[in-house]
Amino acid sequence: MTHVFHRSSTHIPPTVARGEGAYLYDTTGKAYLDGSGGAAVSCLGHGDAHVTQAIQRQLGEIAFAHTGFFTSEPAETLAARLTDLAPGALNRAYLVSGGSEAMEAALKLARQYHLERGDTGRARIIARRQSYHGNTLGALATGGNAWRRAPFAPLLMEVSHVAPCYAYRGQQDGESEAAYCDRLIAEIEAEITRVGPEKIMAFVAEPVVGATLGAVPPVAGYFRRIREICDRCGILMILDEVMCGMGRTGTLFACEQDGVAPDILCVAKGLGAGYQPIGAMLCTEAMHEVIAGGSGFFQHGHTYVGHPVACAAAGAVLDRLVGDDLVGRVAPMGAVLRGMLEDRFGQHPHVGDIRGRGLFLGLELVQDRDTKAPIDADRKIHAQIKAAAFADGLICYPGGGTIDGKDGAHVLLAPPFILSEDQAQELVDKLARAFVAVGL
Ligand code: PMP
């Protein structure tokens, strides 16, 4: 009998006991290679001594002091370091407890910013179909994942959802990448015209799409063109790097590789690397100034904003990512892992696409490589692969997108940046065995 309200009432997972490096161990002693960092969280692997010591040190000083009364040294230092490392004019950090909270803060700040400039009509968000931005109501409404939204549809604000930048499925036969990009941009422009630019608050997207599509990067120039549109129309650009940020793609922030800086950037997962729950919303100094020179008060907040222990943990994570240059391992290790995946699955009859950036890689599973026909949704192939891999001691993160109302399937890989070549090989071997086990 368990009293934990588990997500699934039919499956109680094994009890985790400890973690070390790229592996987790359950209470029976079974080892699991963490090939996805849970959900792209554990970028440092498990049991990182530098981070755990920083947490212990901070606990010995002060664990919690409400930000209604105090700021703290870990919060100030983390905000200064993050904004220093962030692209563009992102100069303020609002420190929360996770990705959904970061996205909620972003949406509310965007609205308040327009309001305080007297631009009171701007409330509409443009986001993309097949996207995920969190499970709280604002973030859920922003996301375009039909399955996640469906039960809560009556509770969700109206959002304009345009096509994702998803070349494998979206680019038509014979269409160049540039023409595909033109078509996506035209759809955004048309939606802005339809709604009225003066009513649009923000454009929201994940630079490299994680959970919903499986590590799908944009085509060249896509985000630069959206940046131009946003600037022209007074629309704020919010980039959700909750999953793809903090070095996962080979640069600390994924958008650096697309040559854009947003007005608001959200990070989480890798920021705390799983050692503490933490997220951050970074915004430009110009946005902060509007609030500072207006009401002087961001009308938002949670009890655990700027939590000192979480901030100390994230500071230590940054030491490892930037100071020890673990981010520098991501592109070369990503290339090694990708090479192994291509060798093993490049010609696999049910692998339609291998994609991603850095150590953020995805395989799309199909019924037929040539027609790209998805695997029958009723087979729930992604759930089967997850179970087969887990039984064999591999944690990977399979998911299903929505292709023409059907469930497409992918496997998302996001191993820790400390992954060795042997571990990369183990990951690929175990994934291949899982495919065989489920009949692929
Ligand atoms: N945005 C993206 C892109 C995510 O992948 C996630 C989590 N999967 C979230 C937001 C929500 O983050 P959290 O689960 O920490 O609330």
pLDDT digits (tens, 9 = 90+) for 38-74: 999 999 999 999 999 999 999 999 999 999 999 999 9
Nearest CA to ligand 1 atom 14: 99
Residue 310 CB-density burial (10 A; 0-12 exposed, 13-18 middle, 19+ buried) = buried
With the most atoms of ligand 1 within 8 angstroms of its CB, the residue from 243, 246, 264 to mutate is 243
Is residue 397 lining ligand 1, measured as CB closer than 6 Å? no
Phi, psi of 382 (to 5 degrees): -65, -40
pLDDT at 436: 98
Q: State the number of CA atoms in the 13 A half-sphere of 243 facing the CB.
A: 32
Amino acid identity for residue 131 in this structure: S
Can you list the domains of the chain with their CATH numbers? 16-47+326-437 (3.90.1150.10), 51-323 (3.40.640.10)
CA of 368 to the centre of ligand 1 (A): 31
**pLDDT attached to residue 5:** 92
In Å, what is the CA distance from 293 to each residue of 33, 198, 275?
A: 51, 22, 37
pLDDT at 65: 97
Kindly give the distance from the C-alpha atom of residue 285 to the centroid of ligand 1, in angstroms, as a whole number: 25
d(CA 52, CA 46): 10
What is the per-residue pLDDT for 378?
Answer: 84
Atom of ligand 1 nearest to the CA of 279: 15
Instruction: Tell me, yes or no, if the pTM score tops 0.90.
Output: yes
Residue 9 phi/psi, 5° resolution? -85, -10
Please state the separation of Cα 124 from the chain's center in Å.
22
- Distance from residue 4's CA to the centre of ligand 1 (Å): 22
Task: Give DSSP secondary structure letters for 351-411.
Answer: EEEEEEETTEEEEEEBS-TTT-PBPPGGG-HHHHHHHHHHHTTEE-EEE--EETTEE-EEE
Question: Does ligand 1 come within 6 angstroms of the Cβ of 134?
Answer: yes
CA 103 from chain centre, in angstroms, equals 11
pLDDT (tens place) for every residue of the chain, 440 residues total: 889 999 888 889 999 999 999 999 999 999 999 999 999 999 999 999 999 999 999 999 999 999 999 999 999 999 999 999 999 999 999 999 999 999 999 999 999 999 999 999 999 999 999 999 999 999 999 999 988 999 999 999 999 999 999 999 999 999 999 999 999 999 999 999 999 999 999 999 999 999 999 999 999 999 999 999 999 999 999 999 999 999 999 999 999 999 999 999 999 999 999 999 999 999 999 999 999 999 999 999 999 999 999 999 999 999 999 999 999 999 999 999 999 999 999 999 999 999 999 999 999 999 999 999 999 888 889 999 999 999 999 999 988 866 655 567 999 999 999 999 999 999 999 999 999 999 99
Contacts (Cβ under 8 Å, ≥6 apart) of 157: 125, 137, 138, 141
pLDDT of 409:
93
Q: Which of 41, 100, 130 to mutate to test the pocket of ligand 1 (most atoms within 8 A of CB)?
A: 100
- Ligand 1 centroid, distance to 204 Cα (angstroms): 13
Predicted local confidence at residue 79, as pLDDT: 98
Interface pTM, i.e. ipTM: 0.99
Adjacency order of strands within the sheet including 90-96: 90-96, 279-284, 264-267, 236-241, 200-205, 124-128, 160-162
Regarding the beta carbon of 99 and ligand 1, being less than 6 Å apart is answered: yes
* Whether the CB of 242 sits within 6 Å of ligand 1: yes
Distance, CA of 12 to chain centre: 26
Q: 255-281: string of b/e by CB count within 10 Å (b at 16+)? A: bbbbebbbbbbbbbbbbbbbbbbbbbb
Ligand 1 near 418 CB (within 6 A): no
Q: Is 400 close to ligand 1, i.e. is its CB under 6 Å away? A: no
Closest CA to 279 of 430, 131, 139: 139
Q: For residue 88, what pLDDT is reported?
A: 94
pLDDT of residue 9: 86
Name the token pair of 149.
């939204």
Mean pLDDT across the chain, nearest whole number?
96
pLDDT of residue 300: 97
Amino acid present at 377: A
Is 39 touching ligand 1 by the criterion CB < 6 Å? yes
The Cα 130–Cα 149 span in angstroms is 11
| pLDDT (0 to 100) of residue 406 | 57
Distance 90 CA to ligand 1 centre (A): 21
If one residue of 104, 216, 242, 266 were mutated to test the ligand 1 pocket, choosing by the most ligand atoms within 8 A of its CB, it would be 242
Distance of CA 86 to the CA centre of its chain: 16
The answer to whether the CB of 399 is under 6 A from ligand 1 is no
- Say if ligand 1 is within 6 A of residue 240 CB: yes
